[in-house]
Amino acid sequence: MSCDCAEFQEYTANLQFRNKSILDIVTKLGEQNALLNRAVFKSVTHCGCIQINASKQIISNDKTLEENKENLTNHVEGELCPRCREKVEEEIGDLLFYLASLCNALNLNLDEVMKYKLSNLKTLGIFNLL
Ligand SMILES: [Zn+2]
């Protein structure tokens, strides 16, 4: 099922009541980001379904971008278990809610923002991420 971004933003606007002020929205967005980070890290420290095995990412000037890309890692080992996956997805959903709320407060169109960013990513490709 594809999500209609405009419908999501409109529905979000209709539900805003307690956190109508942009001051509340921005602080809730930051708070929600922390809750998402916590859910990810609790998957590591409390559940153990995933592990983080981080080390320095080595980018070699002697290799092509594609070759370097193959050697880079996200440092995540394992897979989220169903319970952790549900929690992380719930936190991402709440983060999207506050992001849509911020767009509403500033008269921005989340769908247009996503389309603009996608266009940039397609134009710049991997250079957009450096
Ligand atoms: Zn888990």
pLDDT 10s per residue in the chain (130 long)? 566 888 999 888 888 767 789 999 999 999 999 999 999 999 999 999 999 999 999 888 888 878 888 888 999 999 999 999 999 999 999 999 999 999 999 999 999 999 999 998 888 876 666 5
Running DSSP on this structure, what letter comes out for residue 57?
P
Quote the CA–CA distance of 81 and 74 in Å, as a whole number: 18
Residue 15: domain span: 5-129
CATH number, residue 58: 1.10.287.1080
Please tell me the predicted confidence (pLDDT) of residue 29: 96
Quote the CA–CA distance of 4 and 31 in Å, as a whole number: 25
The count of domains in the chain is 1
Distance 107 CA to ligand 1 centre (A): 38
Please tell me the predicted confidence (pLDDT) of residue 63: 87
Distance 42 CA to ligand 1 centre (A): 8
Distance 93 CA to ligand 1 centre (A): 18
Q: How many CB atoms lie within 10 A of CB 61?
A: 5
C-alpha torsion sign, points 96, 100, 106, 110:
positive
Residue 114 burial by Cβ neighbours in a 10 Å radius (0-12, 13-18, 19+): exposed
Distance 1 CA to ligand 1 centre (A): 25
